[in-house]
Amino acid sequence: MADEAKWYVIHTYSGYENKVATTIEKTVENHGLQELIREVMIPVETVTEIRENRQEEVQRKIFPGYVLVKMVMNDESWHIVRNVRGVTSFVGPGSKPVPLTEQEVIKLGVERNEVVVTVAPGDRIRITDGPFEGFMGTVEELSDDKRKIKVKISMFGRDTSVELDTADVEPDED
C-alpha cells in the first residue's frame, strides 16, 4: 500500500460502539482487508466505583458515541466503514474524514510507545528538545510511568527544577 494508515474517528449511535467495532473487525477478517483497516478501538478507562459498600473496577467509555479506526483512507475502506449499521459519519467537515494529528493520537493514548529510560537520579543529562533545548542538568527523579523526568538546571544563576518528557533528554557523555 502506498498510503500510510492513519487514525480516524467514527461517530456512532450512542450505545452502538461495541457493535460497530465488532462488525468492522469481522468485515475486515472475512474480506481479507487487514492492509486497509488495521485496527479498531474504543477508548476506555478503568474506574473504581463504590456500590453497596464494595469497590468494583468498571470499564467506562472515554468518548461515548465514538470509535477510533486506524485505516488507509480510500473509496473502498470509506465505503466499508461508512455502511456499517450504527455508524452515522466520520468526524470531519462535511463528508470528508479528517485523520487525527500525531499530537492528538499521543494525547488520547491510542498508540503506546515503550519508554526506555537510560538515566537515573543523579545522572547528568543534556536537554535535546523543547524550550530548554541545549541546557545541561541533573536528574532529580523519574515519574512512576517513566514518561516524565524532573531535572535541575541552572537558569539565570539559580537552580531550577523543570519537568520534561523522557524523550527530550539524553545522557551527557562528557
User: For the purposes of burial, counting CB atoms within 10 Å of the CB of 11, is it exposed (0-12), middle (13-18) or buried (19 or more)?
Assistant: middle
Classify domain 6-108 by CATH number: 3.30.70.940
* The predicted structure's pLDDT at residue 101: 86
Q: Counting every residue, how long is the chain? A: 174
pLDDT digits (tens, 9 = 90+) for 75-107: 898 999 999 999 999 988 877 899 988 888 777
Rg (the chain; Cα; Å): 22
Higher pLDDT, 106 or 2: 106
Q: Where are the beta strands (DSSP E) in 52-156?
A: 54-61, 66-71, 87-90, 124-127, 136-142, 148-155
Given pLDDT bands bounded at 50, 70 and 90, which one contains residue 2? very low
Given pLDDT bands bounded at 50, 70 and 90, which one contains residue 3? low
**2.30.30.30, 3.40.50.300, 3.30.70.120, 1.10.3720.10: which CATH number matches 124-171?**
2.30.30.30
H or E, element range at 163: strand 158-165
pLDDT digits (tens, 9 = 90+) for 68-82: 999 999 989 899 999
Helix axis angle for 17-31 and 75-82, nearest 10°, is: 140
